[in-house]
Structure 1
Amino acid sequence: MGSVESRESSGSPHHELSAHEVVLLLETDPDRGLSGAEAGRRLKRFGLNVLPAAARAGFLRRVLRQFHHPLIYVLIAASVVTAILGEYVDSVVIFAVVLVNAAIGFVQESRAEVALESLRSMVRTRARVRRDGRERFVPSAEVVPGDLILLEAGDKVSADVRLVRVAGLRVDESALTGESVPVAKDQVALPAAVPVADRRNMAYSGTLTTAGSGAGITVATGAETELGQIHRLVGAAETLATPLTRKLARFSKVLTVVILALAAMTFAVGLLRGQEPVETLTAAVALAVGAIPEGLPAAVSITLAIGVRRMARRRAVIRRLPAIETLGSTTVVCSDKTGTLTENQMTVRVVWTVDGEYTVTGSGYGAEGKLSDRHGAVVTEATSHTLRWCLLAGVGCNDARLRQQRNEWLLVGDPTEAAMLAVAGKGGLGREEVEAAYPRVATIPFSSERQYMATLHQQRDSGGTVVLVKGGVERVVSMCRAEMCADGAVRPLDNNVVLSAATNLADRGLRVLATAMRPDGKSEEFGEQALDGGLVLTGLQAMLDPPRSAAAPAVRACRTAGIAVKMITGDHAATARAIARQLAVIGDDRDGQVLSGADLDALPADRFAEAVERAPVFARVSPEQKLRLVQTLQDRGHVVAVTGDGVNDAPALRQADIGVAMARGGTEVAKEAADMVLTDDNFATIEAAVEEGRGVFDNLTKFIVWTLPTNLAEGLVVLVAILLGTTLPLLPTQILWINMTTAVLLGLMLAFEPKEADIMRRPPRPPARPLLTAALAVRILLVAALLVGGTWWLFQWELAAGASTAEARTAALNLFVVVEAFYLFSCRSITRSAWRIGFFSNRWILVGVSVQALGQLAITYVPAMNIVFGTAPVGVDVWLRILAMGVAASAVVAVDKRLRKRLL
């Protein structure tokens, strides 16, 4: 039984071995399969055919992880100290902020990590196996190495299988390899170096059979399957912090150190000056609480949530809040081709006959579109006998079925056959019409050995029969002795002309099939030998999976915004090159700047990163290579967005700074591995996401630039009072009032700020750029200095004028809030004047300022609030001085904007 252990037991991969060698290696029977008893023993030995569950952190650990943040540590400490000092209201407010932030983080984390479970569920189906010589259905989890699995159209492959018998078997491997059309299978041994996408003698777990039938020996189950390899890649791929969270983490650490240093300095200076320890400790806590931007976590979450709501209206669902901002920082978009940049519906683009080439418009499987000749004139099947028989062969020699449901076409069968049905409909030939006039009598199914399909039909109008054929160009041409002309006459076939036309079409990235017919055939003459050399060529049909109409403008918009677009696909290089040209991802040069998976493997390690940076298109790429491409770009400092819809995309989606999955055509694995899901499967929606993401980052930056001067100034006011040994201009409760009310009523209104007009004409923010540039840091220090200087000036002015300490503190408190309100309008744009962006364009700010004004009147003139916050009523003259200070601050910031515009 040792030979059953693994694919390495023979020293060769299974696709390299003959079917007979695989049977011997796995000690099974190619006709009877395993015995029930042996299957039971192997199930115990190898385990269930399921992917291993990922270890997850427990509930308590995930809860505690939410408190692991420097600023949270400071807030918790401040809450404890204020409680010890008897300031219970302050303690409760501070701790409530901590709990809210932890709850938000816990909910986000609980929803983020479900990709592996979805991947495991992909193989939970039933498998048809032969055991003890009898067919039976068993749960796919109970399939074991050596089982003989039977496959028919519509079956999901439940394990990795080495095929031993096939009859026209085709398998849709798009979710695993990215191949856009089903792959024809055979049982011929292949070289060991053949990549997964080209292993015609294998069927892999999680793929779907679309046509024909076959049987194969199970060679790998569970984690040993190709799907299992991807599972390991998904598990190993690191879920990266977003640019925003990375910048906020660095910013928080620096801010924590500064706050603790200032608080310690305050406490030490107070003690050295002989002040009471409790009073000094209260001042130090007041400094710490004042300097910490308590509203920042809430502002981040609310701003991101508003971005999420805006994106939902633009057909994108955000699974992780920071993802919306990440797109705004993206420098490279790595897009899957099939179903993302393209329609994922094969479409005939050209019909070629000996009489000329016909262009086909429209996309997808619908009948919308037309055929036109080289002069632009619309044609139908009645225009030419050659065109009619070319289209008729595509319909009659066809097993696909199309069904329309809610404006969508559902396909059962091969996409290439569906494309031939659609183009015939555009030319005036419907399937029902053809089946009525030419009922099918017999079929020679397609196989990779034959490379063609043939059908025998009765002709109702003449009573005779006709043979229709479609298949690979070279094979069909070799079976033809003549070609049909427009009037229905036949003439000797010119092979060179046909093959040259086919080559030209293939060079344009089109998949080309030839059609032929044999009139007045006899049913007894219908066979492979009878057909060879007796056919009449009717034409060529060239097709591709067309680009989405909105994809090319979206690619151009990304380039305008400074974002590189790279196309990564499992499809062939020629197809990838053709689509990339149509989308303007690459230029018109023939070389096309396309790297294949084989090219990547051949690159020396020292040239790999540079080649990845320069190349815009990667074809025939495996999941491991796609993951490596993403990691390489990230290592070069890029913020990478990856789009995809298949199982093969899941590792890269998870590794990316932001993974973008398709909702309609995507697998559940891709959706769960992604940070964002596009409900319309449209690459163009990414352009909208980039715009929203940049708007979110702008608004977060504006909030930080607005809130930090206040926090810094509050801390400095306390520190200056301790250094001078004078009365505090602001009490801890007054500082808490300023922080909590202004953050909610003023600062959060910036989350509703409309996007600025030039947002998509800017280059992406360099990933290495800090959250606050030097120019913004200078502005923050400037406004903080104005607040500190203005507060001390007004506080001392009021005391010198005979005001009480409570009245002087009330004046200082209101000065803080009023200057913040004036500064809020300046922060609506980092570089432009508030008047230039429209005073009323964000009405929420006007609402917030109005409510804040009512709050300031209440804390100033309502007796109960005077008692709680230590305030007192002030006169009109005080308000005039406060307003003058607000106007002065706005003027200073306006001058700073003008002088530093290029640095911002």
Structure 2
Amino acid sequence: MERARQANSAGRKAAPVSDHHTLPVHEVVLLLETDITKGLGPGQVSRRRSQFGANMLPRSKRGGMWRKLLRQFNNPLVYVLLAAAAVTGVLGEYLDSGVILAVVLVNTLIGFVQETRAEAALDALHSLVRTAAVVLRDGQRQEIPSEDLVPGDLVLLEAGDKVPADLRLVRLSGLRVDESALTGESEAVSKDEVVLPVGTPVADRRNMVYSGTLVTAGTGEGIVVAIGGETELGEIHRLMGAVQTVATPLTRKLARFSSTLTVAILALAALAFAAGVVRGQQPAETFTAAVALAVGAIPEGLPAAVTVTLAIGVRRMARRRAVVRRLPVVETLGSTTVICSDKTGTFTENQMTVRALWTPSASYDVSGSGYGPAGRISAAGKGAPEGAAVEPESTQDAALYWSLLAGGACNDAKIVLDGQLWQAQGDPTEAAMLVVAGKGGIDVAEFLAANPRRGTLPFTSERQYMATLHSPALPGQGGTVLVKGAVERVLELCGTQLDPSGRPAPIRRQEVLEAVHGLTRTGLRVLATAMMHLPKDAGPLAEEVLEGRLTLTGLQAMLDPPRNAAAASVRACHDAGVGVKMITGDHVGTALSIADAVGLRTSGEGSRALTGSLLDAIPEHQLPDAVEQTNVFARVSPEQKLRLIGALQSRGHVVAMTGDGVNDAPALRQADVGVSMGRSGTEAAKEAADIVLTDDDFATIEAAVEEGRNVFDNLTKFIVWTLPTNMGEGLVILVAILIGGTLPILPTQILWINMTTAVALGLMLAFEPKEPGIMSRPPRKPDRPLLTWVLTVRIILVSVLLVAGTWWIFELELAGGASLAEARTAAVNLFVAVELFYLFSCRSLTRPAWRVGVFANPWIVLGVVLQMAGQLAITYSPLMNGLFHTAPINPETWLRILGIALLASLVVAVDKRFRRTGF
């Protein structure tokens, strides 16, 4: 309250929204200098608009387009490529220099587009607060654009309205608001005007409504206490703007790898130049040789391979209903160690569904989920037989008919078919009761046509029930009252219960309460239904008419059901060594119920749940331990979600976060991989996410993790395949400088080898299918280097074989009378032949090449054919001979080349046989 008074004295600025729920209505009126009967006057509105500005979220300050474009060059790998382009340009190979620069440009443009799309996350939030608002100004009802609202405005709300600003409620009737997008609460929240204590979480502030939420039932009036950036939605906007997008494991590892490679190449070139000068060689020739060494050692094809491999992963994931918005996150999913998932709409359908019915004489199960009509009602414990349905009063249990009718007709919701998706208009709880009435064969529309509604007692937090009076269309007949509401309150109004034949009988309250306990114990939300007949001379519907005169018809138990594949997907993630945690704004009981259903809770520490208030009480240094040991977090705010993800990342975890609400957007950006729901997700969540699931199914995340692991495998295979060539080329040049000999291969020939083999052979590894058991192994440790020691040794082994084989065949050809051009041509073809044979070995880093299957990846066969055609052209085409200083070679030389390539392949196979671990 003190903060509010200080704000009032300091220029009458609107009090922080965190204070207004603690103030009585009359203090809010005084603080904001408004009138709850007339609203603001024109002069007040004009002054406040000048003072506070428009009711819009602030635009973030961003760098210009050119600054954003230049940022894409700030990468060690780009430095290596630019150096390669400069070197090839110095050597006069302008075509090759242009190719390398084109690779840099493509990768730069991709990064530019990615960053531009990420910034759209903030813009998406602006659309959530652009709506029309009905206000009372100077005693006149007006409809204005929501951006024209000012603090102190009196806003009128009714069902279907989107709340245009943060409001302190002053009057209401049966007001219920869907706040799931903001808080994660799966059920619409009943509102009242009661003053609340300091520290009440946003999700529990019943006397407030917030910008961007949706009114599902009732009416209300509220004073605008916060607009634009001062709203709860504005706080989320601020959090999103403050969150820095986390670099993916792949980009981090490639950055380290590129930096190390850059230093190694420059050091090796400098060493070669120094050694040549010391040996008395000409500095100009030595420098040219050192430049050739650098050109050979630079893996020009690596950026293209990374982009193509990621793009193929994107295409495969799209076929599995996951749309990728940032290329590197494809691989990041394969590195994921923890998935933090929202509950509502991710683990669950985000569609309330009646799952069980109880009447005084029987219990029933309900099949089907969501708002679609598919489903049956059957006796509890029995499957629904084909054709089973509840008939009107001819059924053996009349109470069931009247319970379904009360739930369906005493109801303001609607179910509509939007494309192929059934959606609710109105309160989700009422929608669920409307759907189950249809499953029971009740034609609500037909009943209402014959028995129009003549009176209504709307649901309020004080009344705790809703009642409607229906009388036949023909005058002179009595009416029927239908009631649904909280069990305790409806029981107070009931004096009898309906027996199977449809006659009232004495109510057995204890039996009803035991049934309620049995249903709620499984996490179901239970409502009671009742009815009564009124004589034709009865007066209007009033509360006192119902006291003690209602007849209980039954109970309806519902929940937001877990998705069908959620439990199996959680098990698959656990089998793959990936932890799964639920982070939701919903109640603890609801969260634990869903956690049990999908297999998140264990018998150890993970069986407990932590609430947002408990998280705030945990010291920062103890938070990582607490988060590591807990699988369920409930009543969590957007700020707390960021703390949870940060705590996991501080432990070295690679975190994927799933969500669909506005409240999830900051966490989606903070996580290593943000995953949004495509159908039910808000635009803000989709724009903040790296991946959007088109089917809203948690199971799709498991499929995406599988594809991500395959992407990393294929990238590793390419790197293990390409580096021996680059290292071998560099070492061949180094040896030539150290011994003062002639270069076995020229810089232009090195570029031919690197560029053609990278495209025709190496890129084909991007199409490799998933290896068996890819989801049965644990995730890679985040701090694990791109290349393990075992793979590094294999790269060195193949490099040494290349250097030895190249010098042997080069000297052998010269000794046999071949020209220098012929000897160099033999050396070039030896490099390519060893690469070709080695390619088949790299298709699996652990299994022997013959077990992989030649035609499992037909692209490999195509690449081999293209490369062979290229080698024949550079060897025997006069044009190519002139461009690359090559010459035709005889068949005996080809046999020697193939023999060395086969020997190198056998050595690698032996190494693979005895070194199968450590990958």
Q: CA deviation at 1:67?
A: 2.0
Other-structure match for 2:4: none
Indicate conservation of the 8 Å contact 2:160/2:214, yes or no. yes
Q: CA deviation at 1:250?
A: 0.7
Indicate conservation of the 8 Å contact 2:389/2:441, yes or no. no
Distance in 2 (CA, whole Å) between partners of 1:156 and 1:617 is 31
Cα distance per residue 1:16-72 (max 9 Å; x no partner): 111111000101111111111211111111111111111222122122222222243
Indicate conservation of the 8 Å contact 2:405/2:444, yes or no. no
Question: Once structures 1 and 2 are overlaid, which stretch shifts more, 305-314 or 63-72?
Answer: 63-72
Distance in 2 (CA, whole Å) between partners of 1:592 and 1:82 is 62
Other-structure match for 2:466: 453
Other-structure match for 2:270: 264
Distance in 2 (CA, whole Å) between partners of 1:734 and 1:725 is 20
Other-structure match for 2:390: 380
Other-structure match for 1:169: 175
Other-structure match for 1:108: 114
SS in 2 for 1:61: helix
Other-structure match for 2:243: 237
Distance in 1 (CA, whole Å) between partners of 2:87 and 2:519 is 78
Indicate conservation of the 8 Å contact 2:606/2:630, yes or no. no
Please say if 1:2 is aligned against 2:17. no
Q: 1:88 to 1:398 in 2, by over 3 A?
A: closer
Match of 2:524 among 510, 519, 534: 510
Distance in 2 (CA, whole Å) between partners of 1:881 and 1:263 is 31
SS in 1 for 2:781: coil
Amino acid in structure 2 at the alignment position of 1:355: S
Amino acid in structure 1 at the alignment position of 2:895: L
Other-structure match for 2:221: 215
Please say if 1:629 is aligned against 2:665. no
Distance in 1 (CA, whole Å) between partners of 2:94 and 2:721 is 29
Q: 1:604 to 1:504 in 2, by over 3 A?
A: farther
Q: CA deviation at 1:750?
A: 0.2
Other-structure match for 1:149: 155
Report matched runs for 1:662-741 at 5 Å. 662-741=677-756
Indicate conservation of the 8 Å contact 2:80/2:258, yes or no. no
Distance in 1 (CA, whole Å) between partners of 2:477 and 2:367 is 36
Match of 1:556 among 546, 571, 582: 571
Match of 1:180 among 182, 186, 189: 186
Q: 1:740 to 1:567 in 2, by over 3 A?
A: same
Q: 1:459 to 1:358 in 2, by over 3 A?
A: farther
Amino acid in structure 2 at the alignment position of 1:228: G
Match of 1:398 among 411, 420, 427: 411
Please say if 1:611 is aligned against 2:626. yes
Report matched runs for 1:435-834 at 5 Å. 435-459=448-472, 463-521=477-535, 523-524=538-539, 526-587=541-602, 592-834=607-849
Q: 1:9 to 1:373 in 2, by over 3 A?
A: closer
Distance in 2 (CA, whole Å) between partners of 1:9 and 1:677 is 34
Q: TM-score, normalised by structure 1?
A: 0.97
Amino acid in structure 2 at the alignment position of 1:835: W
Other-structure match for 1:409: 422
Other-structure match for 2:917: 902
Question: Once structures 1 and 2 are overlaid, which stretch shifts more, 533-542 or 599-608?
Answer: 599-608
Q: CA deviation at 1:591?
A: 10
SS in 2 for 1:210: strand
Match of 1:60 among 60, 66, 74: 66
Q: Which sections of structure 2, spanning at least 5 residues, go unmatched?
A: 1-7
Other-structure match for 2:439: 426
Indicate conservation of the 8 Å contact 2:41/2:138, yes or no. yes
State the percentage of identical aligned residues. 65
Distance in 2 (CA, whole Å) between partners of 1:682 and 1:82 is 50
Distance in 2 (CA, whole Å) between partners of 1:375 and 1:661 is 37
Indicate conservation of the 8 Å contact 1:351/1:541, yes or no. yes
Indicate conservation of the 8 Å contact 1:362/1:369, yes or no. yes
Question: Once structures 1 and 2 are overlaid, which stretch shifts more, 583-592 or 867-876?
Answer: 583-592
Q: 1:232 to 1:797 in 2, by over 3 A?
A: same
Cα distance per residue 1:176-202 (max 9 Å; x no partner): 001112111111111112110111110
Amino acid in structure 2 at the alignment position of 1:454: A
Q: Which sections of structure 1, spanning at least 5 residues, go unmatched?
A: none
Q: CA deviation at 1:602?
A: 3.0
Q: CA deviation at 1:437?
A: 4.2
Q: CA deviation at 1:85?
A: 5.0
Q: CA deviation at 1:9?
A: 7.6
Q: CA deviation at 1:82?
A: 4.4
Other-structure match for 2:51: 45
Q: CA deviation at 1:433?
A: 2.8
Q: 1:610 to 1:405 in 2, by over 3 A?
A: same
Q: CA deviation at 1:459?
A: 4.7
Q: 1:85 to 1:456 in 2, by over 3 A?
A: closer
Distance in 2 (CA, whole Å) between partners of 1:645 and 1:863 is 63
Q: CA deviation at 1:86?
A: 4.1
Other-structure match for 1:342: 348
Q: CA deviation at 1:400?
A: 0.9
SS in 2 for 1:835: helix
SS in 1 for 2:852: coil
Other-structure match for 2:41: 35
Please say if 1:289 is aligned against 2:295. yes
Q: 1:530 to 1:90 in 2, by over 3 A?
A: closer
Q: CA deviation at 1:172?
A: 0.9
Cα distance per residue 1:272-308 (max 9 Å; x no partner): 2222222222111111111111100010000000111
Q: 1:4 to 1:403 in 2, by over 3 A?
A: farther
Distance in 2 (CA, whole Å) between partners of 1:209 and 1:271 is 82
Q: CA deviation at 1:559?
A: 1.4
Q: CA deviation at 1:249?
A: 0.6
Distance in 2 (CA, whole Å) between partners of 1:21 and 1:75 is 66
Distance in 1 (CA, whole Å) between partners of 2:611 and 2:510 is 30
Distance in 2 (CA, whole Å) between partners of 1:318 and 1:882 is 44
Q: CA deviation at 1:271?
A: 1.8
Indicate conservation of the 8 Å contact 2:606/2:629, yes or no. no
SS in 1 for 2:849: coil
Please say if 1:312 is aligned against 2:322. no
Cα distance per residue 1:445-478 (max 9 Å; x no partner): 1111111100111257993211111111111111
Q: CA deviation at 1:528?
A: 1.0
Q: 1:694 to 1:617 in 2, by over 3 A?
A: same
SS in 2 for 1:333: strand
SS in 1 for 2:429: helix
SS in 2 for 1:13: helix
Q: CA deviation at 1:101?
A: 2.9
Cα distance per residue 1:235-277 (max 9 Å; x no partner): 1112001111111011111111100100111111222222222
